[in-house]
Amino acid sequence: MNFDSIKKKLGEHKDQVDQGLDKAADAAKQRFEGHDDQIDQAVEKAKGFTQE
């Protein structure tokens, strides 16, 4: 599987990917307290890839 096909799959399932990112962010925030801002920034950047 190449990068273009992965990007296509992400685009086709954007809502599911975004939900997964949100769940992962919630888990990370519980585990790494005090780093909410960094986690939020990483999630927003990752969500930006699903919109391309």
Structure tokens at 5: 């096909």
Residue 30 and residue 43: Cα distance in Å, rounded? 15
Q: Nearest 5°: CA angle at 40, between 11 and 34?
A: 155
- pLDDT tens for 9-34 read 777 888 898 999 999 999 999 999 99
> pLDDT at residue 48 above 80?
yes
CB of 43 within 8 A of CB of 25? yes
